[in-house]
Structure formats: structure tokens, C-alpha cells
């Protein structure tokens, strides 16, 4: 493939549709990221995504550390480095450690070390692994998580994992790269 993108990013200074551009910039602190620039090729898709993912990011009652743990786990399992680079910092901000970030890079591999995670975090990572790789989830794991988290938080955790599987597939299929990491040729 040539050095040009199959579908180019929309320009950073895109101004239309004005209301949607303003909503996205507001949610992103005035910025566009490459994901937004790709989504904006379809106004209905970008609108729906902004509301849906915005709610996941900002309105869930789920512990932010567990939310970001699920997002990071999906990113690693699916090979979506863009997603991981965007969610490791919020994971750290929510109380995660660099040791955990480093360990997550081996999720799903024999060299994954679960020792730096709590039992609940390991169960959340196992849920992420089962949902991402096998679709079906062990009912014993679900029962254990339900007993610890309750129905609302478990539904939200499952929803986060499912949603970010969608995100990673979008990123990978459209070859979306981190803003400061251009694609290698």
C-alpha cells in the first residue's frame, strides 16, 4: 500500500457541521483526535458515537479504574495500540499503577502476571478476555462479579467491554493511528 491513507482524516480545522464539531471539541477539551477526524466522514455515525461513547466515558456509575481496565484490556487483546495509548493515562489517573499498565500488555499470554491486580481486577480482566476472545462468558465468573459489583456496575462493565471491542475494530479496520505516531511505511 502507498503512503497515502485509504480514507484520509478530515482536516483539524473542520468547521461543519458546526454543532457537531462544537460538541466533539467540547467533549475533547477543544481538540480533535484522529478517531474523531475519521468518524466525521459520516455525520450520523459521528453524532451517535459522540453521544454513546461520551456517556460511557462520563456518565457511568462504574468505578473509573474498572472502566479503563476493561478498555485497556480490550485494546491489548485486539492489538489496538491507539486505544491503549488513549486509555492507559486515564487508568493511571483513576488509581492504576504503571506496573499494572505494563502487565496488561501481556493479557491473554502465558507471561501475563496477575499478581499486581486485586481479585476483582483479575476477574474484570478475565471477563474482558472471555468477552473479547470467546464471546461467551463463564457463568461462575458472572455470578462472582454480580455478587461483588451488583447489577448496575456489572451491566456497565459488560457494556464498556462490548463497546470498546467495537471501538478497536473501527480503529484497526480504518488504520487509525495515534496523533503523534504516524503510520510506519
Digit-coded pLDDT (tens) for 112-150: 999 999 999 999 999 999 999 999 999 999 999 999 999
C-alpha cell at 92: 493511571
Domains and CATH numbers, the chain: 18-58 (no CATH), 64-173 (1.20.1290.10)
The pTM of this model reads 0.92
The candidate with the shortest Cα–Cα distance to 170, out of 85, 58, 75, 32, is 75
DSSP letters of 104-131?
Answer: HTTTTSTT--GGGS-HHHHHHHHHHHII
Amino acid at each position: 500500500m502507498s503512503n497515502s491513507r485509504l480514507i484520509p482524516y478530515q482536516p483539524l480545522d473542520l468547521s461543519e457541521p458546526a454543532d457537531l464539531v462544537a460538541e466533539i471539541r467540547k467533549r475533547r477539551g477543544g481538540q480533535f483526535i484522529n478517531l474523531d477526524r475519521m468518524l466525521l466522514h459520516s455525520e450520523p455515525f459521528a453524532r451517535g458515537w459522540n453521544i454513546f461513547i461520551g456517556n460511557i466515558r462520563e456518565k457511568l456509575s462504574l468505578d473509573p479504574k474498572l472502566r479503563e481496565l476493561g478498555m485497556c484490556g480490550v485494546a491489548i487483546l485486539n492489538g489496538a495500540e491507539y486505544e491503549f495509548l488513549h486509555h492507559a493515562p486515564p487508568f493511571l489517573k483513576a488509581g492504576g499503577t504503571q506496573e499494572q499498565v505494563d502487565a496488561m500488555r501481556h493479557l491473554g499470554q502465558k507471561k501475563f502476571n496477575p499478581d499486581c491486580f486485586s481479585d476483582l481486577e483479575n476477574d474484570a480482566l478475565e471477563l474482558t478476555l472471555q468477552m473479547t476472545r470467546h464471546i461467551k462468558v463463564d457463568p461462575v465468573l458472572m455470578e462472582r462479579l454480580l455478587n461483588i459489583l451488583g447489577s448496575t456496575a456489572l451491566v456497565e462493565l459488560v457494556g464498556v467491554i462490548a463497546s470498546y471491542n467495537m471501538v478497536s475494530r473501527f480503529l484497526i479496520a480504518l488504520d487509525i493511528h495515534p496523533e503523534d505516531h504516524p503510520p510506519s511505511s
